[in-house]
Structure 1
């Protein structure tokens, strides 16, 4: 599988990796890969159903929505049961009391007049009373003694005031028996004679008028309060609305419509809302990568790999969400959401993995939103973010695949902490048994993410030619077939490569380059010498140098051929392109000075330098440039008979200066300051390799001196 992925990788044209048009299409592709899987979670699939038909599917509510029609019906019923709020008008009571006083006063005045006949008195009294009284009562008012009349007036006022202060409505006054009963209750204990008691009753009953009216403002306020107190009737996500082969009544149809499951009434606004959120997320991600990770942004292969990882992680969430109907299963907690963050941290960058964790959390909040009325369930969003961050940070600079498994355990621990926090935040839901169940799923999530990351890592490494630290560590193992073969067939080249690797790693780390990549690249940079090992001086132990008897042109072809041979050997053994670049670029287009001058001395005509230069290309990265410097420096210092710190420094700086003048660093981003730092680091490391050693006397010399 690795070989096929490598062939696929090598067969794709290199131009696509830096194309701006391709990059724009890739970000558009990323937006679609986020948007399409989430569509079904913001808007449900719709169906063509009608009232009084039989459903051919079982439908559940895809989201939690309010049943507005049922809610309005419940509110209307509650409002209809509200009793009117009445208000008492005390001015009416005062008016009726004044009327009673006026009647008794008028009767007293008429009774005292001597110039009027009884008939005239009776007529005038009748005209001044707004209601009718019996003839006996009228006669009693005109003939009663003044003290009795005053007592009757006082008691009548008390009765009217007492009854009307309690509030009298029109319904009460329309029933004479009720009014009579109320009056009788008031005068039953009054100390009056029967005649006066009758007068009080006769005058009080018609004097009692309705003084209570409906207060429209207070009544409406009460109705609005009752209306608001009625809770909305909800259709909850996952609620079965209609079973297969079930008759669709008007109520069922209304619920299907409210849940947005009917084609004719489905809203498209959630689609637009999701599109805007995805657009913002992709634009933010693009801007962040362009500013903070320019190397990743410049490689379309990296953008494509990032898009595939994000899509893969969302697909895993979608797969897990399909098991939401299982009672004991918690898909939102068991999903390996940290997988995406772990892969991005290993293959690309830890900080980028943190940013993508926000995107994964957003997707998890939408996909696993089984209960929340809002589009995003904050519980699963928070859980997904913490899990993703733990997965990214727990890896660090992982150099062993076992570290991924360790990171899985750390993610599991963080998942448990996150679940505990969420349980305490929403303490009103769930039991301890459910909490323990969620703990188990949270731990499974972390371990599952680690296992999947270990399994998917070789796929992404092979498909995109990515060299992760773990892959580099594997390639640096002495048990690698090529390194073992180099040790057996070209021990001198093997030792030289090890020395160059140590120099290169130290120099790269000094300037902030990838020291591990440089070290592994240096291991393989001279692998082409295995084809003709004895033509290279480091392998000529106790042998004559064959170049002494060869023509300069032939020697040149043999020496230059080790670059092409190395590239071919590395490709045949399936090594990544980044390692092959070290074998191809470590000499750049430098001149083979020894053989060039030898040929020039033996030739009568000028020889162009281009015939004695390596084919290149020149170093494209800081790492390949530094390995080239270290390669020349180590070989040159090793050829010195008595290297001193001064001579080593002079030699190293001359090698760098020659390459700089020759334009070998024109195509990589090494600065003058970094070259100075590289020179100092190489000198310090070489001085450690070739420091002067104390010559200890042998046993015989010691014995002579002691004698």
Structure 2
């Protein structure tokens, strides 16, 4: 199955791998692959329910929301219970005092009318008085002397002021007013008749001066309204049981919780879309700036999207266990799976960036208790787990390294769980903490196991060479490696030498030394088809090329490239390794046979007929292997390989390739070529250093004699 998928994948034209249009489409698809699986976690499922129906399902509140109608009812009730705010109106007091003054002035005026009868005076006073007074009181007033009248006027004004300053409510009883007046007149220095008149006038003139303050009352009502706490529907609260009658109250709660189909809010969808879009745009920008090699290769972008989607789906499947009482899916989910796969197959820093996404998704998917759309406990837990998974691998070259990384992730998970437990001052006991820690350990180990399981799948489908895959390919027990050793021991030894040279040179310029080493192992496997036509395998035999025509020798030599590519393809060797077999000679000229045929031919022979088919080296690694291949073969042919001769030979080989344009399609710089030259010379000098000539036994015996 995996081989068939790989063949189908390779059958697609290579143009799509660098197409900018395809790249944009891949990022759009990536956004959808993030958005679609988790959209149901930000918006609850809705139901077609109405009042007076019987619910066919048991529904609980998916989120914590405010019950707007219940809150409004509670506020209205609180406002209705607010008592009016009363305030004393001193203007009324002043007005009543003016009326009192008017009465006494009128009495004084009537007393001065000598030509008017007492009956007429009494009648005039009754008609002009602003308040009703008993007849006997009026008669007494008209009969009082001027000093007594003046004293009565002053005392009346004093008592009215004192009584009304205490506030007179409209609901106050007349008896209460009389009592207050009597209390004020106790100490008045008046005779009994005057005291009685003053009492009657005061009681008649006192008027309510405490009124409802509309502004203060409205302010108090608004304050009370705001102080009423919202009525909340809490997440997990059972709103309706299966088979329960849906009342108006239940219906409004279902509506507030967003469970009714007719008016479910779509805003969470928009919010999630914006968050997803932001991450995808950021990821594209980050790749284009920090990882251009990945950004320009749509295959790797597709690989990245596949890993992200796989990780999200693993989260979703783990979340299905939320109904199990003892199961804690949020702590058991292997969040580090995606980070570990990305770190191995693509890049460690990219894995850390993607850990942010995995943590965000984890906070949404496992949000069972938080009042917010995202449970930040799982965000922190997921991020720490993902970062630990990315950085713990290092340059993993063995599967056991992944298990070790999983153990480290498990430790980090436990530390994160303990930190959250202490940070949140959880009411849970140590037993719960122990259970959470166990699931954290399971998460780390499960991430490692799944990484080991999915790694070969991604390597095979996308042709990705991880360090572990390279180590597997370098195993001498690989079929092609065993054949190379058994059938062409000279080529095998040559390949080992080239591998050592290439790895050292690549590491010196920051290239992939392990890839170059493994590529060098397989670069000459095509020689197995005709091993004795290559000098390293002849072993004191006659060189068959001495008796062959140059054209035939040329075809045999050039064919080893095509034969190697074919063999590697038949054994499903990754394309990156095949490139070494195809590109290590580039389009260089087969000089020996070209010069030989030029001497024998009477007409000029085109160089193109004696050049390797290419292509030229496309990467630094293939270019360096090509240099090391020529350098090793040339230095091995030297009779006396001194350091000076080795360096001179290596520099000539690199100079010839540079002038021939063999490095035009890779990104090797002149500075890197100088570094490569020094590295190759140092390694070759170690191979071909002068050895001490030890005397044989006979010479030793002579010297001892």
- Farther-moved stretch of structure 1 (194-203 vs 225-234): 194-203
Give the structure 1 partner of residue 43 of structure 2: 43
Q: Cα gap change, 1:52/1:601 in structure 2, threshold over 3 Å: closer, same or farther?
A: same
Distance 2:467 2:295 in 1: 20
CA drift at 1:347: 0.8
Report what 2:344 is aligned to: 346
Residue 552 (structure 1) aligns with: 550
Q: Deviations over 1:618-639 (max 9, x none)?
A: 2221111110110110011011
- Quote the Cα distance in structure 1 between the aligned partners of 2:409 and 2:166: 74
Aligned pair partner of 2:254 in 253, 256, 261: 256
Give yes or no for contact 1:67–1:258 (8 Å, CA) kept in 2.
yes
1:590 aligns with 2:595: no
Q: Following the alignment from structure 1 to structure 2, what is the Cα–Cα distance between the partners of residues 593 and 478?
A: 33
Matches within 5 A, 1:421-570: 421-427=419-425, 433-570=431-568
Deviation at 1:28, TM superposition (A): 1.7
Alignment of 1:322-471 (within 5 A): 322-427=320-425, 433-471=431-469
For residue 622 of structure 1, the aligned residue among 620, 623, 630 is 620
**1:11-410, aligned counterparts within 5 Å?**
11-97=11-97, 99-100=99-100, 103=103, 118-127=118-127, 129-143=129-143, 156-157=156-157, 159-172=159-172, 175-183=173-181, 198-410=196-408
CA drift of 1:230 comes to: 1.2
Q: Structure 1 stretch 346-355 or stretch 488-497: which is displaced more?
A: 488-497
Quote how far apart the aligned CAs of 1:185 are: 5.8
Instruction: Describe the SS at the equivalent of 1:267.
Output: coil
Distance of 2:407 and 2:32 partners within structure 1: 33
Matches of 1:436 and 1:455, distance apart in 2? 29
Distance in structure 2 (CA, Å) of the matches to 1:161 and 1:103: 16
Counterpart CA distance in 1 for 2:606 and 2:333 is: 66
Structure 1 residue runs of 5 or longer lacking an equivalent are none
Count of equivalent residues: 705
The two structures have a TM-score, normalised by structure 1, of 0.91
Shift of 1:465: 0.4
Q: Provide the rounded CA distance (Å) in 1 between the counterparts of 2:188 and 2:696.
A: 147
CA displacement 1:268-319 (0-9 Å, x = unmatched): 3433333333233222222221222111112111111111111112222222
SS of residue matched to 1:659: helix
Q: What's the secondary structure of 2:171's corresponding residue? A: helix
Residues of 2 paired with 1:390 and 1:83: CA distance?
Answer: 63
Counterpart-to-counterpart distance in 2, 1:420 and 1:547: 75
Structure 2 gaps of 5+ residues are none
Secondary structure of the 1:87 match is: strand
2-side partners of 1:422 and 1:162: how far apart?
Answer: 69
Question: More displaced, 272-281 or 344-353?
Answer: 272-281
Q: CA deviation at 1:109?
A: 7.7
- 1:490-538 Cα distance to aligned partner (Å, 9 max, x none): 3322221111111101111222211110011111112233333333222
Give 1:436 deviation, angstroms: 4.2
- Offset at residue 125 of structure 1 (A): 4.3
Say which of 680, 690, 706 aligns to 2:678: 680
C-alpha separation between the residues in 1 aligned to 2:501 and 2:279?
A: 44
Deviation at 1:463, TM superposition (A): 0.7
TM-score normalised per structure 2:
0.91
Tell me the secondary structure at the aligned position of residue 244 of structure 1. Answer: coil
Distance 1:618 1:218 in 2: 91
Q: Name the SS of the counterpart of 1:409 in structure 2.
A: helix
> Structure 2: how far apart are the matches of 1:144 and 1:441?
104
Q: Report how far residue 145 of structure 1 moved.
A: 7.5
For residues 308-337 of structure 1, give each alpha carbon's deviation from its aligned partner in whole angstroms, at most 9, with x where no partner exists: 111112222222333334444433333222
Deviations along 1:464-512, one digit per CA (max 9) or x if unpaired, are 0000112112222334343334333333222211111111011112222
Cα gap change, 1:441 to 1:661, in 2 (>3 Å): same
Q: Please tell me whether the aligned partners of residues 365 and 376 of structure 1 are also in contact (alpha carbons under 8 angstroms).
A: yes
Describe the shift of the 1:42–1:124 C-alpha distance in structure 2 as closer, same or farther (beyond 3 A).
same
Query: How far apart are residue 649 of structure 1 and its match?
Result: 1.1
Structure 1 residues 6 and 223 mapped into 2: Cα distance closer, same or farther (>3 Å)?
A: same
How far off is 1:3 after superposition? 3.7
Q: Hey, what's the Cα distance between the residues in 2 that align with 1:183 and 1:320?
A: 85
User: 1 CA distance for matches of 2:165 and 2:337?
Assistant: 79
Residues 627-679 of structure 1 deviation map (CA, whole Å, 9 limit, x = unaligned): 01101100110111111111111111111122223332232222333222222
Alpha-carbon shift at residue 460 of structure 1 (Å): 0.6
- Aligned residue for 2:239, secondary structure, equals strand
* Whole-angstrom distance in 2 between the partners of 1:95 and 1:328: 80
Question: What is the CA-CA distance between 1:433 and the residue it aligns to?
Answer: 4.8
TM-fit CA distance, 1:559? 2.8
Q: Against the structure 1 CA distance between its residues 420 and 588, is the aligned structure 2 distance closer, same or farther, given a 3 Å change threshold? A: same
Q: Distance in 2 between matches of 1:503 and 1:408?
A: 35
Query: CA-atom RMSD, angstroms?
Result: 3.0
How far has the Cα of 1:12 moved from its partner?
Answer: 3.5
Q: Structure 1: how far apart are the matches of 2:633 and 2:302?
A: 41
Which deviates the most, 539-548 or 667-676? Answer: 539-548
- State the distance in 2 between where 1:492 and 1:255 align: 83
Measured in 1, the distance between the counterparts of 2:399 and 2:135 equals: 118
Q: Report how far residue 48 of structure 1 moved.
A: 2.2
**Compared with structure 1, are the counterparts of its residues 64 and 116 closer, same or farther at alpha carbon in structure 2 (3 Å cutoff)?**
same
Distance 1:221 1:471, change over 3 A: same
Distance, in Å, in 1 between the alignment partners of 2:155 and 2:409 is: 90
1:266 and 1:450 map into 2 onto residues whose CA distance is 41
Aligned-partner SS, 2:322 = coil
Shift in alpha-carbon separation, 1:88–1:415, aligned structure 2, 3 A:
farther
Q: Distance in 1 between matches of 2:408 and 2:83?
A: 64
Give the SS at the match of 1:389: helix
SS in 1 for 2:87: strand
Give the 3 Å change call, closer, same or farther, for CA 640–247 of structure 1 in structure 2.
same
CA distance in 2: counterparts of 1:146 and 1:705, whole angstroms: 168
Aligned pairs for 1:650-661 within 5 A: 650-661=648-659
Distance 1:205 1:440 in 2: 87
CA distance in 2, matches of 1:427, 1:228: 31
| Corresponding position of 1:692 | 690
Once structures 1 and 2 are overlaid, which stretch shifts more, 117-126 or 531-540?
117-126
Please identify, of 521-530 and 641-650, the stretch whose mean Cα deviation from structure 2 is larger: 521-530
Counterparts of 2:411 and 2:117, CA distance in 1? 113
